[in-house]
Each structure stands twice: as structure tokens, then as C-alpha cells.
């Protein structure tokens, strides 16, 4: 039976590289996968899933109104898919998460989502909240804080490296805008 998986972590835990490794492994067995990422990311490599260690692949792009299940099923009809891999899953809507669950439940296509659990204020993203609620399997990937403890939080910083306490939930950025920290150092940075 196909399942819906959610691999979650803070920034810099290797979510995208783990996804790309999974895609590579399927490809080595001549199995097709459907790759997806959020259209909101307009940094260099837009439309591609890319990792900090240099791995990259093109991908379908989803927005809040994208019928992911419909597009995956069209792709599946052309040639059987072994798996659907979704990067930046925190940007999925609740409805899209249920669409992905339907792909697993009704169509037997495994779906593996990768994303952040919480934003820079420690709040769940809507897509992450839905995945934490209904995924068949939850897997936490580990990042490391500068103190050596597990990093679970994403601190947003300004251009001078100072903590940002308020703002929109979604602001795209990499190491220039976010630092993965343990809860203790995250809390200290916000004081």
C-alpha cells in the first residue's frame, strides 16, 4: 500500500539533497518520479530543486491553486510513476496535502514530501500542519546548531545578521536570511 510521507526539519538539514538522492535512486532502477517544488521561490535556480551541496533537478512548480493530483495523474497515464517527490512542502495548501494523500490512497502512488515544520516565529506552516496531521509516516531530518545540539528552529536575520522578530510568514531566502538554531539559542537571539 502506498503511503504519504513527510520529511521535515529546520533549514540546512539536507531535505532537498535527500529528495534528489531518492529521485536518483528511482532513476537508477529505470523508475519514473514526478518532482514538485513551490513556485514562490524566485531565487537563482527557480523551478529547480537544488541543494546547498550542488545537486539540482528541474521540477514542476505548484502554486496555491495548482491541482497537483490532476497533473500527476495525467503524467501517470503517459507512463507509470513510481513516486511523487515534493520539495518545499510547507508551501502546500491543506487541500493540496489531501490531494497528495488521495494519490497514495486511491491510486497507489507513494508521495514523499520534504519541508520546514515551522517558520521564523516557531509557528507551523499550513502545509506542514496538514502533513503532520495526516501523513502515514513522519521523519525528522537533523540539522546542527552552532552549539552542537539539534537545530529545530529557523531564525530569520536581517542584512546585518540581527534577529528579525516580525514580518510575513513567507520570505524566501537561504543562509543570508535564515540560521538554523536549537530552541535555546533561538530564544536567546530573540531577546
CA–CA dist 79, 93 (Å, integer): 27
Catalytic annotation, pick one of 74, 88, 140, 171: 88
Strand partners of residue 190: none
Distance between CA atoms of 46 and 17, rounded to whole angstroms? 16
Taking the C-alpha atoms of residue 84 and residue 114, their distance in angstroms, rounded to an integer, is 11
Whether residue 4 contacts residue 172, with contact meaning beta carbons closer than 8 Å, is answered with: no
Q: Is 88 a catalytic residue?
A: yes
Positions marked catalytic: 88
Amino acid at each position: 500500500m502506498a503511503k504519504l510521507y513527510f520529511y521535515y526539519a529546520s533549514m540546512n538539514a539536507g531535505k532537498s539533497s535527500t529528495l534528489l538522492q531518492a529521485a536518483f535512486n528511482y532513476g537508477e532502477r529505470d523508475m519514473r518520479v514526478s518532482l514538485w517544488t513551490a513556485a514562490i521561490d524566485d531565487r537563482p535556480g527557480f523551478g529547480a530543486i537544488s541543494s546547498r551541496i550542488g545537486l539540482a533537478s528541474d521540477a514542476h512548480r505548484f502554486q496555491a491553486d495548482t491541482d497537483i493530483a490532476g497533473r500527476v495523474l495525467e503524467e501517470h497515464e503517459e507512463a507509470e510513476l513510481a513516486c511523487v517527490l515534493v520539495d518545499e512542502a510547507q508551501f502546500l495548501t491543506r487541500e493540496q496535502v489531501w490531494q497528495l494523500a488521495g494519490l497514495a490512497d486511491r491510486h497507489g502512488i507513494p508521495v514523499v514530501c520534504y519541508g520546514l515544520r515551522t517558520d521564523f516565529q516557531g509557528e507551523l506552516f499550513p502545509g506542514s500542519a496538514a502533513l503532520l496531521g495526516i501523513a502515514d509516516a513522519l521523519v525528522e531530518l537533523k540539522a546542527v546548531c552552532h552549539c552542537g545540539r539539534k537545530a529545530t528552529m529557523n531564525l530569520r536575520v536581517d542584512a546585518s545578521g540581527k534577529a528579525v522578530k516580525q514580518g510575513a510568514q513567507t520570505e524566501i531566502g537561504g543562509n543570508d536570511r535564515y540560521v538554523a538554531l536549537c530552541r535555546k539559542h533561538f530564544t536567546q537571539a530573540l531577546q
